[in-house]
Amino acid sequence: MNVSAQAVTIVMIEDDDGHARLIEKNLKRAGVYNDVLHLNSGTAAVEHLFGPGRQGGAPVLVLLDLNLPDMSGIDILARLKADPVLRLAPVIVLTTTDDDREIRRCYELGCSVYITKPVNYETFAQAVRQLGLFLAVIQVPPTAP
């Protein structure tokens, strides 16, 4: 287990508790033991990521469901990628939509991986591991001011 990867917190924005639980379980099963912070609404996610009490430099990986009841995941993605600090965080979009236009839009906004539910957890865990490692590598030099 890569020690630097451990530092990465996985922020999971998912309104469906079942989906969240499945993702968590499958991540553990695939050997990803990072902390997973589950936020079950768009409002909670915005509060955590952009609110006054946010942790400045801690590296995060965002798992984002687009189909949230209170706001569109696309908006959260756009805000993440517009944020000077968080724009570096990899974002994995996990959603039931497999519409080409939707996928293209997410990639244009800067998401790292787009995964369609039902999830093939093998590829998913692989993606999380790689992105986590990638994040760990670029986290090695001190953060730019």
Q: Which residues bind another protein (CB under 8 A)?
A: 16, 18-19, 22, 25, 29, 66-67, 72-74, 95-99, 101-102, 117-119
Scored b (16 or more CB within 10 A) or e, 3-18 reads: eebebbbbbbbbbbee
Look up residue 136 and give its two tokens: 């760990």
Please, which residues have CB within 8 angstroms of residue 10's CB and are 6 or more apart in sequence?
27, 32, 34, 35, 36, 37, 60, 61, 62, 63, 128, 132
**102 to 15, 40, 66, 98: CA distances (angstroms):** 19, 22, 10, 7
Q: How far apart are CA 28 and CA 23, in angstroms?
A: 9
**Least CB distance to another protein at residue 31 (A):** 15
CB of 94 or CB of 135, closer to another protein:
94
